[in-house]
Every structure is written in structure tokens, then in C-alpha cells.
Amino acid sequence: MPRHKGHEAGVKNIRPIIQYLSQHGIEYITLYAFSTENWNRPDDEVNGLFQLLEEVIEEESRELHKNNVRILHVGSLEGITPGLKKAINEAVALTSKNTSLTVGVAFNYGGRAEIIEAIKRVIVDRIQPQNIDEKLFGQYLYTADFPEVDMVIRTGGEYRTSNFLIWQAAYSEYYFTSILWPDFTEEKLKKALSTYSRRQRRFGGL
């Protein structure tokens, strides 16, 4: 089947996953929608994905707003289509006061690009070297309003982080599965969370 069919199936899986997490006390989730490296894909696939996400964001933001879900964009808005940029900004504004689950949409995002951008902003603000620590630097990242990442779930049978939240996930627990994202059902998510609950997080200590 055409690749865009896979993208369509993938976005359809977002709502049930968000609903499940919201019902089980999860406060933050970040979805990797489009990486800075994805620009290297064929133009028709990129443009099709932009159009699909524009439609999905417009539709889902209203439903998420009804459920008190906050949407935040994680990444850069440079280079994307005006329609998609408008949809993202409107979704963020619409849900900005919501207090249930926060959903970060990592779009046009790359961990290395994020760190470089943060360094540039630190330099522009003329922060003295002796005043720079992890806490301050974190405030210059796209995820300044997010807590540290507890768990990263990688679907599709790949065993790499793919430039995703490489600063924030320094001490995260990773869960790798061969299940493709469109097939990553609530039951599969339940299994991943159960696995996480049995791990011991030491953060470098004993």
C-alpha cells in the first residue's frame, strides 16, 4: 500500500492512546510526529503528511479541548506550510488553559537541533558561563514546561533513539517493541507501562 496509508493509520491511533493515558493518571506525553531528518523523504510524502497533520490537528484539537487536554508544539515552525503552522498555533492557543493531560507534538523536531538552538539563545541572552547549569539550560529547550522523561517507547522494531529528546531522556527507561505504531493498541501500551513499573531507577546511584 502507499506510504501515506501508513501515516493515516498512525494518526488514527493517537486518540485511543491519549484517552488511555489520560484515564490512568499520566500527565505528560510527547508524540514524535516529524523529525528534522524527515525532510529528506520524497516531497510528495512530506507534503501529504503536512496536509494530513493539518486536518488531524484541526479535528482533534477541538475534541481534546473538550477533555481538558493541553497541546504544546515541540520543535521549530520554520519551513512548514502556512496552513499547518496556523493549525498548530490555533490548537496551542485553544488548549493553553487546560489542566488534564499535556500532549507535546514533536513536529519538525530533532534533539541535536534543539540543543544547538538552545545554545544560540543562551549566547544571545549573554548568560555568563558560571551561571549555566542543567536547570538553566533546560529552560532554553523546547520542553521547558515539561518534566524529565520517565519512559520512551520505540515501536516498529527499531533499536535506536533517532534523535528524540536526547537531553531530556538521559535517564529515561526505554521500551522497544516490534509492534508498528498503528498496531500499538491499549493492551500493548498497558504491557509497556507494566514493564516500566517493575524497573528500578537509580539515576547513577545504588
What's the rounded Cα separation, in Å, for the pair 123 and 7? 38
The beta strand positions in 48-143, using DSSP E, are 70-74, 102-109
For residue 131, give the C-alpha cell.
551561571
Residue range 6-49, pLDDT digits in tens: 888 888 899 999 999 998 889 999 999 999 999 999 998 898 88
Residue range 78-91, pLDDT digits in tens: 999 999 999 999 99
**Entry pTM:** 0.90
In whole numbers, what is the pLDDT of the chain averaged over residues? 93
Burial (CB count <10 Å: 0-12, 13-18, 19+), residue 20: middle
Please determine, for residue 98, whether its predicted confidence score (pLDDT) is greater than 80. yes
Domain architecture of the chain: domains with CATH: 3-181 (3.40.1180.10)
Query: Measured in whole angstroms, how far is the alpha carbon of residue 131 from the centre of its chain?
Result: 29
Burial (CB count <10 Å: 0-12, 13-18, 19+), residue 88: buried
Cα 102 to Cα 31, 47, 83, 97, 135: the distances in Å are 11, 27, 23, 11, 21
